[in-house]
Amino acid sequence: MDAVSSSKKFEVIKELLQKNYSLTLLCNLAGVSRSGFYKWMYRQTFVSPKQSEDEALKLKIVECYEKLKGIYGYRRVKVWLKRTYAIHINHKRVQRLMSKLGLQAVIRRKRAYYGKKEAYVISDNHLNRDFTADQPNQKWVTDITYLIFNGQRLYLSAIKDLFNHEIVAYQISSKNDLKLVFDTVKKARKQRDTQGVLLHSDQGFQYTSRQYSALLKRYGIKASMSRKANCWDNACMENFFSHFKTECFYLHSFHSAKQVRHAAEQYIHFYNHARFQTKLNNLSPYEYRTQAA
């Protein structure tokens, strides 16, 4: 059991303890020890001098990032810290702290490309972080996340209805390609009336392709896209992936793609039909939609 998976399990256990589950039972189910959980809890509350120093550095890094509108990478941020605050710090430490903050330079070195570039289509950010909807099939969001297990990798594509946070459709594939996105949209089309739906995504190559744009138009769907390199514009979709990974994926050791697909199917059914949400008056997404109907 690696350190990352242990930490994720402890996070889930801590959350479930607030719902009056037994610590012994949770530790047994997760395959961790009670003593390990207590040590992890202590580390969360104990702040070392180095951690305090890191927090102070993070504030200065954010200051640099905001003042210069994110144009500096970690090497230039290191120089900025030295010139502005006389702070001498290793560039690897700056890189680590920026990674924790989710910051990276907005100007990236372009890869050499030999051959003809395919035309792409970028839509405006019509959603504009308004993650609410008055009725079903008004606003949908979509994205792709990767699932690494046993030396293998799968990609999970999903579409979420912002009215009740229900997963309208999902697809799992070993390839992160156009077909994965197309199959997800086609599944959603079979489940719901897509005429007039606003579907928000990031600017991944699948979503900016001419084929994807044509598919949405054929189904009567209006496209919306996040601004470049701005993950917060689609935070509500990331929220679902976070729940899926902490409440399902990280709690198991998978040996085959079949096991992952089965676990995803079970969890998404649970998420839609049984997992109540406080934002939905303690109803599940399915219950909230049927009650509204």
Distance separating alpha carbons of residues 222 and 94, to the nearest angstrom: 41
Residue 89 or residue 115, greater confidence: 89
Asked if 57 contacts 87 with a C-beta cutoff of 8 angstroms, the reply is: yes
The average pLDDT across 160-173 equals: 97
Q: Is the pTM value of this prediction over 0.75?
A: no
Rounded alpha-carbon distances, angstroms, from residue 13 to 5, 27, 61, 224? 12, 7, 33, 37
Instruction: Label residue 157 exposed, middle or buried (CB < 10 Å: 0-12, 13-18, 19+).
Output: buried
Q: Is the pLDDT of residue 116 over 70?
A: no
Where b means 16+ CB within 10 Å and e means fewer, 53-78 reads ebeebeebbeebbeeeeeebbbeebb
The average pLDDT across 260-275 equals: 96
Asked if 266 contacts 249 with a C-beta cutoff of 8 angstroms, the reply is: no
Q: Is the pLDDT of residue 45 over 80?
A: no
Identify the pLDDT of residue 197: 97
Which percentage of the chain shows pLDDT scores above 90? 58
Q: Which residues contact 113 (CB under 8 A, 6 or more apart)?
A: none
Q: Is the pLDDT of residue 110 over 60?
A: no
Identify the pLDDT of residue 113: 46
Tokens of 110: 């372009």
Q: Rounded mean pLDDT of the chain?
A: 88
Distance separating alpha carbons of residues 271 and 292, to the nearest angstrom: 18
